[in-house]
Amino acid sequence: MSAEATSPGARSRRRGRTSIDLRRLGRAALLGPASRDRLPDAIGHVADAHRAHHPDADLLVLGKAYVLAEMSHRGQFRKSGEPYITHPLAVTLILAELGAETTTLTASLLHDTVEDTDVTLDQVRAEFGDEVCYLVDGVTKLEKVDYGAAAEPETFRKMLVATGNDVRVMSIKLADRLHNMRTLGVMRPEKQARIAKVTHDVLIPLAERLGVQALKTELEDLVFAILQPEEYERTRAVIADRATTGPSLDTIAVDVRRTLREADISAEVLIRPRHFVSVHRARLKRGEMRGTDFGRLLVLVGEDADCYAVLGELHTCFTPVISEFKDFIAAPKYNLYQSLHTAVAGLDGAVVEVLIRTHQMHRVAEAGVVALGNPYTPVDGAEPADGERADPTRPGWLSRLLAWQESATDPDTFWTTLRADLAQDREISVFPADGGMLGLPAGATCVDAAYAQYGDGAHGCIGARVNGRLATLSTVLVDGDTVQLLLAQGPVQAPGGAGGVGGLGDSGGPGGERTGPKAGQAQEAAPGPSPEWLDHARTPAARIAIAGWLAANPESLKVPESEPRAPGAVTAGRRGVANVVVDVPEDTTVRLAGCCTPVPPDDVTGFLVRGGAVTVHRAECSAVGRMAALGRSPVAVSWGDEAECRVTLYAESFGRPRLLADLTEAIATAGAAIVSANVEPPSEQRVRHTYTLQLPDAAGLAGLMRAMRDVPGVFDVRRAQHEPAS
């Protein structure tokens, strides 16, 4: 934008200077009928490109915007020496060729006027309306004189917030950056590298998310040439010396056309060459390149059903590579992309990738949100209900970004977090158990789902169920998972009160889950997030919320020191379950760890956890190693005289009738009481049972486990124990 504008002997913007009379200027320039011949010659190629997509477009407003832009930028030059007006013209032509509607092109012609000249937003609004004014304001940079080093991140924040209300703002910015990258050679090498790095980290991911592949691929190649010049030259040489081994794409394209013609399917078969970065990636992945590796076949048809007809013919007449098949028509990508992807092999074994889509899908695949035209135009002339605009272009990633940026008040935090967020190049959808859908980046965990669903209320999360099974909060989610987040019944406590490490901590049931209080017991407050949660949070919203809570509660990072005292008996966990002797004050809460459920005479050790509680683990429990790695000192623990104990057992069996009845009968015969039981749905004819049992004497545990193993169909019984940490 204005980075390349120069006005000899003058600042780019002078406040207090006499403003341009836009009405007089517009009348003088555009008197007469609004015909094609009345447009200024310089904008003729823009008008031709625009009419190709919008035959009925009113071009008068474009001529009017061009006259204003040319007059206001007159006397300004780019670093290359060209008149500055060539830049907004080039940006507008890029958008016109993508099919942008008239309002976007008008704003594109004017996008630097408010930033670099004496034209004001009020004048733009008066002459061109509120929509054009909003778009121009959205892409206008903030002044360095006002924001200093924070000008760039705050400009992007302003632009993204504006994009949340109108995605056409980002369309103009992407086209603007593309033209600047095309002409970046006149800049100093260090400035080229800085601009290319920001383009790589921020604008290319945004182009991908908005589906504007035509801009994204060219930006990738331009950035590649600047940031990796040696690899770029090597790739260019590979393309110049294109491999001739095996049949060429042209030969296979002829075979595909003949196959579809014989099947009476009307289709256009094109060869789509790979761009530089795509060839570079293919070369790194495949090593030696063959002729068919330098491009793909693109098959364009009229209707959705024709796409599947083409797929059927290709898979019938050629050998399909099943692992390469993807259906983005039935399940479109989050950036609006739709297409069928497949790969087929010819008789000589040469493999070619094929993309199958309709002409409309192709438009959207190339231009993304730009191809939608004005997404806010009322349907059939009807205004949206309650004055709201239905926006089909605001996907989950943009809503998440707009939500977390409000919490990132510091410009450096926002800038760093934005780059990290945009580095997540895939999105998944998960479904809360109580309905709805959450869009999350690939690699997101239950921690991220909790904060996406509950915001700061997720501080009280104590566990999760993924697809009906208990899971740790660190569990990585995959597309289509059903997630039930388990929240503490009590309020989130300040550090120092009762409680242990929740969710990712080292106490409670499987996955750190703790059960709610029984009748007659005091309800325990949730302890809030632990520092370990940051290791498993992938979304900025979760990381910012967790870091904020930890910063506001620094005591949560400290392990309270205990005063030495004479050993005494303290009841661990639920009263009457088991008796352990711990060298801590009498009012200290002591729990048996749910991850390994120790019972006498196991070798045990204890650790102080946040909140002043002691958690008792079996010596071989993997949590012991994690506690030691965190620098927590062990607490001496021994068993008392009480014989009664509680233990969790897993029974693995083959499914059969009356299996559950036989198992519970064996447990009762051994004298154990069932506190809780869970039977998972059969998987490959195997069933997993989880029993929490109360035993009158720990010495009877071995006999109980033998009795359960003797039940027909049961092939393994073992005590609860986490897998060893990797």
So which residues are the catalytic ones? 115-116
Phi then psi dihedrals of residue 2, to 5 deg: -75, -5
- Which residue, 100, 82, 108, is CA-closest to 1? 108
In a 13 Å sphere around the CA of 346, the CA atoms on its Cβ side amount to: 18
Contact 278, 246 (CB under 8 A): no
169 alpha-carbon distance from chain centroid: 21
Q: Where does residue 684 rank: exposed (0-12), middle (13-18), buried (19+ CB within 10 A)?
A: exposed
Query: How many residues are there in the chain?
Result: 726
First to last CA, the chain: 51
What one-character-per-residue DSSP string does 637-664 give? Answer: EEE-S---EEEEEEEEEE--TTHHHHHH
- Greatest Cα pair distance, the chain, in angstroms, is 105
Residues contacting 28, CB < 8 A, separation 6+: none
b/e sequence 18-34, b meaning 16+ C-beta within 10 Å:
eebebeebbeebbeeee
The distance of Cα 457 from the centroid of its chain, to the nearest Å, equals 21
Q: What letter would DSSP give residue 633?
A: P
Q: Is 5 helix (H, G, I), strand (E, B) or coil?
A: coil
For residue 262, give the H/E element and its range.
Answer: helix 249-262
Q: Is 248 helix (H, G, I), strand (E, B) or coil?
A: coil
Cis peptide before 601 (omega within 30 of 0): yes
Q: Report how far residue 22's alpha carbon sits from residue 1's, in angstroms, rounded to the nearest whole number.
A: 22
Residue-wise burial string across 364-397, b where 16 or more C-beta atoms lie within 10 A, e elsewhere? bbbbbbbbbbebbeeeeeeeeeeeeeeeebbbbb
- Measured CA to CA, the distance from residue 448 to residue 536 in angstroms comes to 8
**Nearest C-alpha neighbor of 615 from the set 500, 497, 494, 463:** 500
State the Rg of the chain over Cα: 33
What is the rounded (10 degree) CA torsion for 702, 708, 711, 717?
-100
DSSP state, residue 386:
G
The C-alpha torsion from 687 through 693 and 697 to 698, rounded to 10°, is 60
Partners of 651 in beta bridges: 689, 717
CA 225/CA 60 separation, integer angstroms: 40
**Coil, helix or strand for 205?**
helix
Q: Are 301 and 358 in contact (CB under 8 A)?
A: yes
Identify the bridge partners of residue 353 per DSSP, sorted by sequence position.
343
Distance CA 13, CA 73 (A): 11
| Enclosing H/E stretch for 469 | strand 469-471
CA of residue 590 relative to chain centroid, distance: 40
> Could you give the 3-state DSSP secondary structure of residue 272?
strand
- In this structure, what DSSP letter does residue 148 have? G
